[in-house]
Amino acid sequence: MTMLFFATPAFAQRSVYIEDLTWPEVRQAIAAGKTSAIIYNGSTEQNGPHMAIGKHNFIARWVAGAIAIKLGNALVYPTLPFAPTGDAVTRTAHMRFPGSVSLTSQTYAGVVHDIALSAVDAGFKNVFIMGDHGDGQDVLASVAKSLDTQWKSRGARVFYVPDIYFKEKQQARAYEAAHGLPTHDVHAGTDDTSELMALDAQHRWIRPDKLAPSEGSQTSRTGVDGDPTKASAGLGDIFLQYKIDDAVAQILRLQQIKP
């Protein structure tokens, strides 16, 4: 994965990820104009036999950094690696598979709320919340709306950025359809696998010998709902760029909204 740094001379070779910085460096960056915070949430969930459980987290961290670089005025908060993925007691959805982790919607909302509030407290004027995992998108929207209502009169805005998930999914499906690729691509299929392939230069996260399409009831056995055998790093580059461009475009529009 490529390390992403500030482009301005004053912060040459400084990471856009706040976890890599000291607190005086964060304060200095905000004072120098990096007044937007990106909170891009991942998930720890099964991704079939062929793909690592941390898929969403690896993608979210890299994409968030790329967004920050393209915006030029943002820093990235650590990726929240957990989201709602099923019921741990009744073992529904992803929680049927070992290694998956699930938060309740209430816990998820509370954690995201507190991360965003921490960003406001740090002095960021615009906080952008987004998620790489499908479940819990409504929670992210609700948290952003609640915090924005509370803080906009005091000069801080909190926004939800849905295009990075929903618009990108539409674009990926359209691309797949136009190029004769499977469009039934719900989970751990062509698009998910391609995105991780594009970032997996060290071949740590994909098991090529385990790639197999879902077939009927196989989905419930393997966790795959789609066809990862059609995936490629080249497709991943395209889909990741959709995410970056969609998020940047929406963030630039949101930045124009006045209190």
Query: In the block, which residue shows the tokens 């960021």?
Result: 124
Rounded CA separation 78/76 (Å): 7
Residue type, 166: F
DSSP element (H, E) containing 129: strand 126-131
Burial 76-111 (b: 16+ CB within 10 A, else e): bbebbbbbbbbeeeeeebbbebeebbbbeeeebbeb
Domain spans of the chain? 9-254
| Residue 219 confidence class, pLDDT cut points 50, 70, 90 | low
**pLDDT at residue 1 is higher than 60:** no
95: which 2 tokens? 């929680």
How far is it, in rounded angstroms, from Cα 237 to Cα 90?
37
pLDDT at residue 8 tops 50: no
pLDDT (mean) for 128-155: 97
Residue in the block written with tokens 């709602």: 84
- Structurally, what CATH architecture does the domain formed by 9-254 represent? 3-Layer(aba) Sandwich (3.40)
Q: For the segment 64-81, what is each residue's pLDDT rounded down to a tens digit?
A: 999 999 999 999 999 999
pTM: predicted TM-score of the whole model, two decimal places: 0.93
